[in-house]
Chains A and B, each alone.
Chain A
Amino acid sequence: MPEARTGDLIKGTLDLLILKTLQLGPMHGWGITELIEQRSENALSVNQGSLYPALHRLVQRGWIRSEWRQTENARRARYYMLTRSGRAQLARERAQWERLSRGVDLILNAEA
C-alpha cells in the first residue's frame, strides 16, 4: 500500500529519484549519486548519509533488491535493481509527484 508522505517531501523525493534512476538498470550507490547529479545538471546532489538508509528502506519494502556484482573495473560492489512491485511503486510515486508539482506550478504561475 502506498503510504502518505505529506510534509516529508525531501525523503519522498529521494525515493522517487532512486526508483527512477534504477529504472535505467542495476546500479551501485555511487552510480546512483553520480547519475542524479549529472541528470539534474548538478542541481541536485545526494548526501551519502541519506542515500544508504534510503536504499535500505526501499529494499525492506521490497521495491528494490541488491546483489554483489563485479564492476567494469573488476571490483566488487553492491548493485541495486528495481523489483516488479518497485516498478508499480515508481508509477504511483510519479503520479503523486506530478500532481504535487502541478499544484505548485499552478500556484506559482497564477496571475498576480
Chain B
Amino acid sequence: MRERLLTMWARVRATLFSRAMRDAELEEEFAFHLEKLVERNRARGMSEAEARRVARLTFGGTERFREDVWDVERSRWLEDFWQDAKHAVRLLRRTPAFSFAAILTLALGIGANTAIFSVVDAVLLRPLPYAEPGELVSFHAQYDNYRAWTEASRVLESAGTYTYSLGNVTAGREPVRVWTLAATSSLLPTLGVAPLLGRNFSATDDVHPSPPRVMLRHGFWQTQFGGRRDIVGRTIDVNGVPHEVIGVLPRDFEFPPPIRLENGTVPLVPDLWTGAGWVPDFAQRGALAIIGRLQDGFTPLQLSSELESIANANRAGPERVRVPVSAVAEAVVAPLRPAMVAFTAAIALVLLVACANLGSMLLARFTTRGREIAIRRSLGAPRGRILRQVLAEGVVLGLAGSLAGLLVAWLLLQLLLVYAPVELPRVHQATLNARVLLVALTLGALSATLITLLPAWSANRRDPRSALGTRGSGADTRTVRAQSALVAAEVALAVVLLVAGGLLLRSFVALTRVDPGFAAGTLVTADVLIPSDRYADRSATLHFFDALEQRLGAQPGVTSVSAIDRLPYGPSSSQTGFTIVGRSVADEKQHPRGWNTAARPGYFRTMRIPLVYGREFTSADREDAAPVVVLSRALADRYWPGRSPVGERVVVWGVEREIVGVAADVRHFGPTQPVDPIIYLPQAQDVTTRRMMTIVVQTSSDRDRMLSVVRDEIRALDAQLPVSNLRSFESLQTERTANQRFQALLVGSFAALGLLLAAVGIYGVMSYIVAQRTREIGVRVALGASRSTVVRHFLSRALRIVVIGAVIGLACAVPLTRFLQSMLFGVPLLDRITYAGVIVLTGALALIAAWLPAFRAARVQPVVALRAE
C-alpha cells in the first residue's frame, strides 16, 4: 500500500511540479554520478585534474541527458493518452445509442451555458465603448453649477454635459425625425473618444447662438448617407436650417450609456450631435446630465462630498444641497445583474443535472464492465491505468460535447436574440468570441471531470477478487446506492429550478393582469413632430391636427381619433405644481403636483379611459374659450376625497382653470409602476405649443391596414412631415412586459429541461435496478408474488428517491429564490401555488419515469428470468 502511494505520489509530482525544480534534482543526480567517476579515476592513479577531465569526457553533456529524460516522460504521457483515447472512442462506438444520448445531453448543457454566457459577456462583462470606463461618473446639476463645480473640483479630471432635443432631418433619403444630443465640446474628450471622421466641437459651439454644425452617429451616417466619407464639410437640413457636418462618431460608440431609467427603458441613442449652444435655453434647462472623469484613485463618493462642500460653501441656512454621484459602469450593470446571475445560475444547474445523469450512466457502464476491469487488474494492469481509461472516456465525451455544444450555442444565441427585450442593453452585441469559446471548452473539461468522478472512484475501489467471484450480472448494491444518490440530487436541482421558473412565470402572469387604467382595444399610434419653421404659430399647429383628425375620422373602420403629448408607456415629461383656489398652503413644497399633459378632444374616449366625474375635452375647449382642466383620480382623491371636484377652480401656470372632469388612473410608466397624478390640459389652451404629439386611432378594422392608412393620411397632409413609432399600442404593451416575459421564458425553459433530465435519470436508474434484479424478480413471481406487488415495490423505491430529492430541493429553493426578489412582481417568495405546482409536476413526471421500468419488471416471465443466467 505504501509503495503504491509512493508511486502515485511520484506521478502526481511529475505532473504538478515545475520542470525547473525537477531539473535541479536531475542535475544533482548527475553531479553525484560524475563525482563517483572522478573518484574511480583517481583510484586508478590519475591526477586530480586528469581524473576530472576523463570523467567529464566519459559522462558527456548533462544537458542532452536531461532532454532525453524529459522526452521519455513526454512521449509516455502522450502515447498513453492517445491509446486511452483511441480505446475510449472504440468502446463508445460499440454503444452508439449511449454515446449519442451522452453527447447530445452534454451538447445541450454546454451549448445553453455557452449561449447564456455570451449574453452575460455582452451585457455585463464587456466594457462600455469609452476609454477607461471605470473612471467615469454621472451626476446632475444646473448649467451654472456645472461650470462652477467642475472649475473648482480637484477630484474631477474633466466633465461634459448634454441634453436631448428633437430634430427633423431632410437631407438624407427621406425626411426623418431624429433625437439630437446637444453636448458641450468637453463631452467627447471626457469620454476619451475621438470622431471617426472630421473633428469634435470647439468652445464656440458651447455658446448660444452657435454656428449650425452637427456630428452624425455611425449607424445614421451608414443608413442615411450610405457611409460616404465626403459627408464631412457638406451641409444637411435640420429643422429647415442648413447645418455643416463636421464629424462622424466611431462605429461602436453609443451615448448616453445604457443606464436603465425609471420606466424600465434605456435612453435612446441620438442620431445627431449638436453643440450645446444649438439649444437656446441650454444654460437654463433644469438638471443637466453630467458625465465626469475622476482623477486617478478617487471614488464617486469622494467627488460627491467634494461637490457638496463646494455647493454648500456660500449657502446660508441649515439646508444642505445633496449631490449624489454614481459610477457609470456600475449604474449600467447594477439593474441587470440579478437577472444575469439568475440566468447563469439556472443554466449551470441544468448542466449539473445533465452531468449527474451522465455520471450515473457511466457508472452503470463501468459496473457492467466490472468483470473485464477485474480481469485486467488481476493480469497486472496498474490501477492508474484503469482510472485513466475511465477518465479518457469522460474526456472524449466532454470534448465531443463541447464541439457539438458550440453549434447548439450558436443556434440558441440566434433564438435568444430574437426574444431578447430591447431593454436589455448591448445584448445584440453577443457573439461567440474567443472568451466564449474558452468557456465552452472549460465547461467541457469540467463536465468530463464531473461525470467520471464517481465511476473512477468506484472502479478504484473494486477489488479484483470479489469482482471475479461474483457474476457479472449480479446486483451491485454500491452502484445502485451511488446512482440513487445522483438521481436524488438531480431531482433536488430540478425542484430548485422549477420553483425559480414558477415564481417568474407567476410574476409575469400577475403583470399581464394588472389593470393599466385603459382598455387599449385595437389602437394604432404614430408620433409626429410639427416643425416650428413651417408651423410658426399655435393656430397652424392646431389646424394641422384638426385637419388630420378629420381625414382619419372619415376613414372606414376608424372608431375615434385623438392625440396626446404623453402616451401611457411612452416617454416621461415633467411635473408641475398648481394651487387650489380658496385653499392656502403654508409651504410652496406642499402645492399639489402632477405630470402635465396636453390632450386633444376625444382622447379619453379613444383610449377608453373611464371618466369618474364630469366630462372630457371637446372641440369647444378652444384657445379663446374658458380655461378648463381634467385631473386624474389620484389627484382628485387626495385633495377632494370622496367627492367630485368638478366645478372647483385651480391655478396651473398662472391661469385659473375650472375642473371639468376626473379621469381614471393610468399606469404611465408600465404595469410594475404605481399610478401617478396627471394634470390634463386641452392642447388648445396649453401654455406652450407642444410640437411632439402622438396620434392615437381606435379602429375596428385590421391593424396592419390601419397603420398604412395613418401613414398615408399624414403624408397627404404634409409630405415633409416625418412620422416615427408608427405601431400598434399592443406592441408597446408587449415591450413594457418584455423583460419579465424573457426572464420567465428563459428560466422556465431551463427548469423544464432540468426536470426532463431528472426524469431521464429516474428512468435510467430504475431500468438498471430492474435489469440487475431480473432473476430475483423471476424467483419472486415464481414463488407467487403478484405483478402489482412487483410494480408497487419498484414504484415505492423510486418514490423514496424522488421524495428525498424533492425535500432537499424545496429546502434549498426557499433561501436560494430570495435572490430573485428584485425580479418578482405581485408574487410572494413563498408562493403557495408555485410550490404546490412544483410538487405535483415533479411527482407526476417521476411516477411516469419510474412506471415504465416497474411495469417491465412486472412482466418478467419466471422461466425466462431463470434461464437468463
Contacts and interface: CB of A to CB of B under 8 A. Distances in A.
Interface in A58-112: 59-60, 62, 65-67, 75-78, 83-85, 88
Contact of B65 (A52, A66, A84): A52
Please indicate which of the listed interface residues B59, B379, B380 has the most CB atoms of chain A within 10 Å of its own CB: B380
B29 A29 contact: yes
A85 B72 contact: no
Interface string B1-26: 00100110011001000000000011
Given A1-B381, A53-B71, A48 B60 contact: yes
Interface string A18-49: 00000000001110000000000000000011
A interface SS class: helix
Contacts, number: 70
Please indicate which of the listed interface residues B7, B58, B71 has the most CB atoms of chain A within 10 Å of its own CB: B7
Contacts of A83: 3, 7
A1 B379 contact: yes
Given A1-B380, A48-B60, A83-B3, A56 B32 contact: no
A62 B421 CA distance: 60
Contacts of B7: 62, 65, 83
B127 interface: no
B384 interface: yes
B38 to A, nearest CB: 11
Interface residues of B, number: 32
Please indicate which of the listed interface residues B6, B29, B71 has the most CB atoms of chain A within 10 Å of its own CB: B29
Nearest to B71: A53
Contact of A84 (B3, B32, B35, B59): B3
A49 B25 CA distance: 16
B29 A52 contact: yes
A31 B255 CA distance: 77
B126 interface: no
B33 A53 contact: no
A57 B72 contact: yes
A85 B380 contact: yes
Nearest to B3: A83
Given A1-B380, A65-B10, A76-B28, A49 B36 contact: no
B63 to A, nearest CB: 11
Contacts of A60: 11, 14, 72-73, 76
A53 B36 contact: no
Given A65-B3, A77-B32, A53 B68 contact: yes
B64 A49 contact: yes
26 contacts: A28-B29, A28-B33, A29-B33, A48-B60, A49-B60, A52-B30, A52-B65, A53-B69, A56-B69, A56-B72, A56-B73, A57-B72, A59-B10, A60-B11, A60-B14, A60-B73, A60-B76, A62-B7, A65-B6, A65-B10, A66-B10, A75-B35, A76-B32, A85-B380, A85-B382, A88-B380
Given A1-B380, A57-B72, 12 more contacts: A48-B30, A48-B59, A49-B68, A52-B65, A53-B68, A59-B10, A60-B73, A60-B76, A67-B6, A78-B28, A83-B3, A85-B382
Interface of A: 1, 28-30, 48-49, 52-53, 56-57, 59-60, 62, 65-67, 75-78, 83-85, 88
Interface of B: 3, 6-7, 10-11, 14, 25-26, 28-30, 32-33, 35-37, 58-60, 64-65, 68-69, 71-73, 76, 379-382, 384
